[in-house]
């Protein structure tokens, strides 16, 4: 979105005029109002028609709220729990206890870093096997004490490296999928940023799948698809369109349940409003499921996943 620079320039210009306006004898009010109106028009025009690739970039925006920001602001009494009890504590996947609307819940989510230092510690939000195994431990804890699970998805994918592969990252993901498919408590998944492939799905199985408006969920990154299918890393825009990875398209396909609107330009523009929207949606879904008998809950979840697939049926010959 190189046009965003025009917005930045205009904003800077307005600030400059406002400073000048403070100087005695200068009345720039008319000028400022005109520019502000122009800025608003530009902003609406720019963000009204976002391409899928634009949304991928917003989903990855460095100033977007991350999982821990939600844990601290949407919930109360967030109390982090660490470690898989075996290999270590994966800082890329944060788990803990919290209260939502004063009710106890279990939370988990992938956490990206804000600085180079933090990203080193958090592996850029890409979990290793110990992260998924920590999630398993926390899911079992939730089931034992009949606590709803809220899982916030935001990862480019599971960490691809020797350490991950040595720890059977694929096996860890598989076990998460199996566990979440039949866990006897309500699970609400909200994709708040990037939903990158198996590493995202590994904490993304549930009774309700929500996505923020500019979040993405995809079998492969547009970069990966461009490289593999088009053999051309430059064709990421085309790949992003083809994959149908935006919240809006996935809702149309019936693969997710709800799209949570974001402020104009993306969640990074106004954190408090995003927290409020997410909070309202989570409370609504958790409340809806509270009284559903657990057998029925698990059965509905099973039928939901069992039914996913699009194919052509041929007449018997």
Partner 1 sequence: MPIFRDREYLRVELEKSQDESLWMQCKACGELVFKRRVRENNNICPNCGEYFFLTAPERIESLIDEGTFVDISQPIVAGDPLGFVDSKPYPERIEAVQERTGLPSAILIATAEMDEMAVLMAVMDFRFVGGSMGSVVGEQMCYGMEQAMERGIPFILISSSGGARIQEGMYSLMQMAKTAAVRERLAARHVPFISVMAYPTTGGVQASIASLGDIIIAERGALIGFAGRRVIRDTTGEDLPANFQTDTFAFERGFIDRVVNRENLRGELIHVVRFFQRAEKRD
For 189-293, where are the alpha helices, taking DSSP H only? 197-201, 222-225, 236-243, 247-252, 271-290
Number of alpha carbons in the 13 Å side-chain half-sphere of residue 149: 34
The enclosing H or E element of 188 equals strand 187-196
- Asked whether position 167 contacts partner 1 by CB under 8 A, the answer is yes
Contact segment (CB under 8 A) with partner 1 among 22-30, 146-154, 241-249, 279-287 equals: 241-249
31: its two tokens: 């000028």
Name the minimum Å distance from CB 189 to partner 1: 11
How far is 290 from 286, CA to CA, in rounded Å? 6
- Asked whether position 88 contacts partner 1 by CB under 8 A, the answer is no
Largest CA distance in the chain: 90
- Asked whether position 42 contacts partner 1 by CB under 8 A, the answer is no
Name the minimum Å distance from CB 244 to partner 1: 5
How far is 220 from 200, CA to CA, in rounded Å? 11
Long-range Cβ pairs for the range 43-48 (8 Å, 24+):
43/7, 43/264, 43/265, 44/264, 46/1, 46/3, 46/4, 46/7, 46/265, 47/264, 47/265, 47/266
- Asked whether position 251 contacts partner 1 by CB under 8 A, the answer is no
By CB atoms closer than 10 A (0-12, 13-18, 19+), residue 119 is middle
Contact segment (CB under 8 A) with partner 1 among 13-21, 49-57, 78-86, 224-232 equals: 224-232
Name the minimum Å distance from CB 195 to partner 1: 9
How far is 53 from 309, CA to CA, in rounded Å? 25
Binding-site string for partner 1 from residue 298 to residue 317, where x marks contact by CB under 8 A and - marks none: ---xx--xx-xxxxxxxxxx
- Asked whether position 289 contacts partner 1 by CB under 8 A, the answer is no
- Asked whether position 96 contacts partner 1 by CB under 8 A, the answer is no
- Asked whether position 173 contacts partner 1 by CB under 8 A, the answer is yes
How far is 155 from 126, CA to CA, in rounded Å? 6
- Cβ proximity to partner 1: between 201 and 267 the closer is 201
- Member of 9, 44, 253, 264 binding partner 1 (CB under 8 A): 253
- Member of 93, 108, 215, 225 binding partner 1 (CB under 8 A): 225
- Asked whether position 288 contacts partner 1 by CB under 8 A, the answer is no
- Asked whether position 178 contacts partner 1 by CB under 8 A, the answer is yes
Contact segment (CB under 8 A) with partner 1 among 28-36, 40-48, 221-229, 259-267 equals: 221-229
- Asked whether position 230 contacts partner 1 by CB under 8 A, the answer is yes
- Cβ proximity to partner 1: between 59 and 250 the closer is 250
Nearest to 212 by CA among 289, 157, 268, 284: 268
- Member of 111, 130, 197, 214 binding partner 1 (CB under 8 A): 197
- Member of 255, 264, 273, 280 binding partner 1 (CB under 8 A): 255
Nearest to 147 by CA among 207, 107, 189, 190: 107
Sign, Cα dihedral of 165, 168, 169, 170: positive
Name the minimum Å distance from CB 77 to partner 1: 31
- Member of 93, 250, 260, 289 binding partner 1 (CB under 8 A): 250
How far is 217 from 59, CA to CA, in rounded Å? 10
Kindly list the residues in this chain that would bind partner 1 in the complex (CB under 8 A): 157-158, 160-162, 164-171, 173-175, 177-178, 180-182, 197-198, 201-202, 204-205, 217-220, 224-225, 228-231, 242-245, 250, 253, 255, 301-302, 305-306, 308-317
């Amino acid at each position: 979105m190189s046009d965003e620079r025009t917005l930045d320039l205009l904003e800077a210009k307005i600030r400059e005029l406002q400073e000048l306006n403070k100087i005695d004898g200068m009345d720039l009010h008319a000028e400022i109002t005109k520019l502000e109106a122009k800025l608003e028009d530009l902003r609406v025009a720019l963000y009204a028609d976002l391409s899928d690739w634009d949304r991928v970039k917003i989903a990855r925006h460095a100033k977007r709220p991350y999982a821990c920001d939600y844990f601290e602001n949407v919930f109360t009494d967030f109390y982090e729990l660490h470690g898989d009890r075996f290999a270590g504590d994966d800082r890329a996947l944060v788990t803990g206890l919290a209260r939502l609307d004063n009710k106890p819940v279990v939370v988990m989510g992938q956490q990206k870093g804000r600085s180079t230092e933090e990203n080193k510690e958090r592996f850029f939000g890409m979990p290793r096997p110990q992260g998924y195994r920590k999630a398993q431990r926390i899911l079992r804890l939730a089931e034992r004490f009949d606590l709803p699970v809220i899982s916030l998805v935001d990862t480019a994918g599971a960490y691809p490296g020797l350490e991950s592969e040595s720890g059977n990252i694929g096996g860890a993901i598989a076990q998460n999928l199996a566990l979440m498919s039949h866990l006897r408590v309500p699970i609400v998944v909200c994709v708040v940023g990037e939903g990158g492939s198996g590493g995202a799905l590994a904490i993304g199985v549930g009774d309700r799948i929500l996505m923020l408006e500019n979040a993405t969920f995809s079998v492969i990154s547009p970069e990966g698809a461009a490289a593999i299918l088009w053999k051309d890393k430059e064709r990421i825009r085309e790949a992003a369109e083809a994959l149908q990875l935006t919240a809006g398209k996935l809702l149309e396909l019936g693969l997710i349940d709800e799209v949570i609107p974001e402020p104009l330009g993306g969640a990074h523009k106004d954190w408090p409003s995003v927290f409020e929207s997410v909070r309202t949606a989570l409370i609504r879904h958790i409340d809806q499921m509270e009284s559903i008998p657990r057998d029925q809950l698990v059965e509905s979840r099973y039928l939901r996943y069992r039914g996913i697939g699009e194919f052509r049926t041929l007449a018997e010959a």
